[in-house]
A = this chain, B = another copy of it.
Amino acid sequence: MALAGNRPHRPATIKDIARELNVSISTVSRVLRDMPDVNAETRQAVLQMAEKLDYQPNQVALSLVTKRTHTLGVIVPNLDHFFSVAVRGIDDLALEAGYTAMICQSNESYAREMVNTQRLMKSRVDGLIVSISSDTFNVDHFKRLLQKNYPIVFFDRVGSDLAATKVLLDNVAGAAMAVTHLIEQGCRRIAYLAGPANLSISQQRLIGYTDTLRKYGIPIEEELIVYSEFDRDYAYSCTLDLLSRPNRPDAIFAVSDRLAVGALLALKEKNVQVPEEVALVGFNDEPLMRLLTPAVSSVAQSAFDMGRTAAQLLIEQMSSETTLPHRTVMLKPTLIKRDSSLRKKTETT
């Protein structure tokens, strides 16, 4: 009975195998799940038929009865270098643990983040890994889920007032490392390109910035702290503005590499010597940074590890019978020093 017509593809089911072999679907199911209580010959026949019909178990039906999809939802604001690598980390651990990741991009939009969560909930993903969008000021949609004990792990961009498991960088320490380094290089008027004010990374890194200045007895000047969009062009114009002031800074610490690149473009255009006149440090250590001229210093973090541990925590939480207490894992950054902030070159040689 060759029914391989021009039809839209009908995958073989356990029933097909049973019918073809004149056994019950229970028996087929037993074979396919490697259960006992089945004759060796029957087992063999079923396995052969499964192979022949190219049988693939229907995860959908299985999910309906087990209430587990073995899928985890991921919502990231974008897929820039950092998040791409983080997603790879998630994917990596998910594969090991037998899960598949559904990756959605919120495109930094609150509305899209909502749609994404809703879609993922409809698909009954077993848990969520989220880095919130820069446009998200209201996190009620996540709070509702958390209240129902739905497993969610936030990473990198976490809501400040969310009681949940989180994986993040020690942003205070990272900023402190950058600013300390700049001070050691002789900088005294260090500007901070802060990014969007609502994000916790901006706030945390601001704390590291101010703490360090205080520690070294350097006055904190409000006008050296510049908020902006997460956008290179924005950083570019902010930097031009900084440079046009009578009392220009002698260093710039950018909350992200994207902003650091914008700053560098402005500096180069104005023919400002880097690092002699203005030193520069970014954040994330994207591969691009070492390729720029001059190579730009940056605070490095392992996005891969962050993604992996986020997935790890989520899967632990999901496989646990009881609701586990919320945890916060903090990863340590490292500072990569490059030409853009190394004034005392004699030291290194």
State the A residues within 8 Å of B (CB): 4, 6-9, 11, 54, 56-61, 63-64, 69, 71, 78-81, 84-85, 87-88, 91, 95, 100-105, 107, 112, 115, 118-124, 144, 148-151, 261, 265, 288, 291-293, 321-323
Contacts and interface: CB of A to CB of B under 8 A. Distances in A.
4 cross-chain pairs, A with B, having the tightest CB-CB distances, nearest first: A293-B293, A79-B84, A59-B122, A103-B103
Contact of A71 (B11, B63, B123, B323): B123
Given A9-B151, A100-B119, 17 more contacts: A8-B149, A8-B321, A11-B124, A56-B121, A60-B64, A60-B69, A60-B123, A71-B102, A79-B84, A80-B84, A87-B105, A91-B104, A95-B115, A101-B102, A101-B104, A265-B291, A288-B291
Which of A80, A87, A119, A144: most chain B Cβ within 10 A? A119
A93 B60 CA distance: 24
| Interface core residue of A8, A80, A85, A104 (most chain B CB under 10 Å) | A8
Chain A interface helix/strand/loop/mixed? mixed
Nearest to A6: B323
A21 B26 CA distance: 37
19 contacts: A4-B148, A6-B322, A6-B323, A9-B150, A56-B122, A58-B122, A59-B123, A59-B124, A60-B69, A60-B123, A61-B64, A79-B79, A79-B84, A84-B84, A91-B105, A100-B119, A100-B120, A288-B291, A292-B292
Nearest to A86: B79
Count identical subunits in the complex: 2
A63 B123 CA distance: 9
Given A56-B121, A59-B123, A63-B60, A291 B261 contact: yes
A286 to B, nearest CB: 9
A6 to B, nearest CB: 5
Contacts of A261: 291
A54 B144 contact: yes
A3 to B, nearest CB: 12
B103 A6 contact: no
Contacts of A115: 95
Nearest to A258: B287
Contact of A100 (B59, B102, B144, B293): B102
Contacts of A321: 8
A116 to B, nearest CB: 8
Contacts of A102: 71, 100-103
B79 A87 contact: yes
B79 A88 contact: yes
Contact of A103 (B8, B80, B101): B101
Contacts of A119: 100
Nearest to A74: B103
Contacts of A150: 9
Most chain B CB inside 10 Å of its own CB: which residue of A60, A69, A84, A107: A60
